[in-house]
């Protein structure tokens, strides 16, 4: 049985016109696997994660079903409390925002250990030091006495990962965990996450806009556009040749080592639609180089082909990517 099953998930935000940020999304995360959700900013990726654990903004409403380890989370009283300590860990996009600036690192990590395991403060501090060592932060004992501003961005991100792992979760949500880091540190953090998942037997749902980050990490890739999953596939198959024009555009935009010097970076023409846009047909049609008349007036359903699938009237064929 799957560890996380998301079915027909919607996320709506109240306002003068109302906004649908996530539109009938289905997603499955199997145990001890990594699923990456990729797409441009504003596609609904982060709201998807937040809806799963009841952390939407006050004007947000989630519908559908989210089952974690056979338990329904949507509609449950305080779903965040139900999974805290033994279920889902969360690494947020900005480590600085998830750490309290006026409290020492050791105090913050120990607080997590006490809440999750009910241990003494002494045991909690020992666990905090052990976890900092596990995320490869050198001189862990010294860093326990420091404040967040005394650490570099990469070091703060390791602390945030340590905090998420102290409760020993079965599933880790990682929301753009490398966005604020330079390229070298990005690679180190991704390698760290991959190693920890293998070591701890943990599954991961990774959100990112960068396909280059997930190429060697994800078992499956789901592509999200304007609130909807437009393609889902086993990672190796996807990277060999995506079916949806948007997926192909994202993949083509990743710089390659064999690109000629001075080659202009490839982009997807146009911009993503504003949140709340009404789509008479395919939501990617205004930016698609392969669009036809049918695409302008008929919304393509998600067509599954075994475990993979895409929402496109005219999926790409080999050689079109």
Cα distance between residue 281 and residue 297, in whole Å: 4
The confidence score (pLDDT) of residue 179 equals 77
Cα distance between residue 166 and residue 172, in whole Å: 12
Percent of the chain with pLDDT over 90: 64
Which of 102-140 are b and which e, b meaning 16 or more Cβ less than 10 Å from the residue's Cβ? eebbbbbbbbbbbebbeeeeeebbebbbebbebbebeeb
158-185 pLDDT per residue, tens: 999 999 999 989 999 999 888 767 777 7
Give yes or no for a contact between 260 and 77, defined as CB atoms under 8 angstroms apart: no
| Residue 64, pLDDT above cutoff 80 | yes
CA geometry: angle 23, 36, 272, nearest 5 deg: 45
The confidence score (pLDDT) of residue 90 equals 92
More confident residue, 22 or 253: 22
The average confidence (pLDDT) of the chain is: 89
The confidence score (pLDDT) of residue 256 equals 75
43 by Cβ neighbours in 10 Å (0-12 / 13-18 / 19+) ranks as: buried
Tokens 């895409």 found at: 310
Long-range contacts of 301-306 (CB under 8 A, 24+ apart): 302/26, 302/229, 302/230
298-320 pLDDT per residue, tens: 999 998 877 789 999 999 986 66
Q: What is the pTM for the complete model shown? A: 0.91
DSSP state of 299: P
User: 22 is written with which tokens?
Assistant: 């996530």
Q: Are strands 303-305 and 19-29 parallel, antiparallel or unpaired?
A: unpaired
The confidence score (pLDDT) of residue 319 equals 61
Cα distance between residue 153 and residue 76, in whole Å: 35
Domains of the chain: 1-79+208-257+265-321 (3.40.50.300)
Judged by DSSP in three states, 127 sits in helix
Cα distance between residue 151 and residue 60, in whole Å: 34
- Rounded mean pLDDT, 23-44: 94
Cα distance between residue 258 and residue 250, in whole Å: 18
DSSP state of 273: P
The confidence score (pLDDT) of residue 177 equals 86
Cα distance between residue 87 and residue 70, in whole Å: 12
Cα distance between residue 75 and residue 87, in whole Å: 17
Q: How far is CA 318 from CA 189, 240, 285, in A?
A: 34, 9, 21
Maximal CA-CA distance, the chain? 68
- Lowest model confidence (mean pLDDT) among 73-82, 154-163, 246-255: 73-82
Query: What is the chain's length?
Result: 321
249-301 pLDDT per residue, tens: 999 888 777 777 877 878 899 999 988 788 899 999 999 999 999 999 999 99
Which pLDDT band, with edges at 50, 70 and 90, does 77 fall under?
Answer: low
Q: How far is CA 190 from CA 97, 195, 209, in A?
A: 20, 9, 14
- Rounded mean pLDDT, 144-149: 94
Q: Give the DSSP H/E element, type plus range, for residue 303.
A: strand 303-305
The confidence score (pLDDT) of residue 210 equals 80
DSSP string, 157-219: HHHHHHHHHTT--SEEEEESTTTTS-HHHHHHHHHHHHHHHHHHT-EEEEEES-HHHHTTT-S
CA geometry: angle 15, 21, 23, nearest 5 deg: 125
The confidence score (pLDDT) of residue 307 equals 75
110-127 pLDDT per residue, tens: 999 998 888 899 999 999
The confidence score (pLDDT) of residue 97 equals 77
């Amino acid at each position: 049985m799957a560890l996380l099953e998301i079915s027909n998930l919607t996320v709506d935000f109240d306002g003068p016109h109302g906004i649908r940020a996530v539109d009938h999304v289905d997603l499955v995360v199997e145990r001890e696997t990594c699923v990456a959700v990729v797409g441009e900013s504003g596609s609904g990726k982060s709201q998807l994660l937040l809806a799963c654990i009841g952390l939407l903004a006050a004007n947000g409403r989630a519908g559908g079903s989210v089952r974690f380890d056979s338990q329904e989370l949507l509609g449950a009283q305080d779903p965040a409390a139900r999974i805290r300590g033994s279920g889902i860990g969360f690494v947020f996009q900005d480590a600085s925002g998830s750490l309290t600036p006026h409290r020492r690192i050791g105090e913050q990590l120990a607080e997590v250990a006490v809440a999750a395991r009910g241990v003494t403060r002494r045991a909690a501090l020992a666990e905090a030091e052990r976890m900092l060592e596990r995320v490869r932060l050198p001189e862990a004992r010294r860093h326990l006495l420091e404040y967040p501003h005394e650490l570099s961005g990469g070091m703060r991100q390791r602390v945030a990962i340590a905090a998420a792992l102290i409760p020993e979760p079965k599933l880790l949500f990682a929301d753009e965990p490398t966005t604020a880091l330079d390229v070298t540190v990005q690679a180190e953090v991704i390698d760290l996450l991959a190693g920890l998942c293998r070591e701890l037997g943990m599954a991961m749902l990774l959100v990112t806009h960068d396909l280059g980050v997930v190429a060697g990490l994800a078992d499956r890739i789901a592509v999200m556009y304007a609130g909807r999953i437009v393609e889902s596939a086993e990672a190796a198959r996807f990277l060999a040749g995506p079916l949806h024009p948007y997926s192909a555009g994202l993949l083509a935009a990743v710089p390659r080592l064999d690109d000629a010097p001075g080659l202009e970076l490839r982009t997807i023409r146009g911009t993503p639609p504003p949140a709340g846009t009404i789509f008479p047909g395919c939501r990617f049609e205004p930016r698609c180089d392969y669009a036809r008349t049918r695409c302008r007036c008929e919304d393509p359903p998600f067509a599954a082909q075994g475990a993979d699938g895409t929402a496109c009237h005219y999926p790409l064929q080999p050689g079109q990517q």
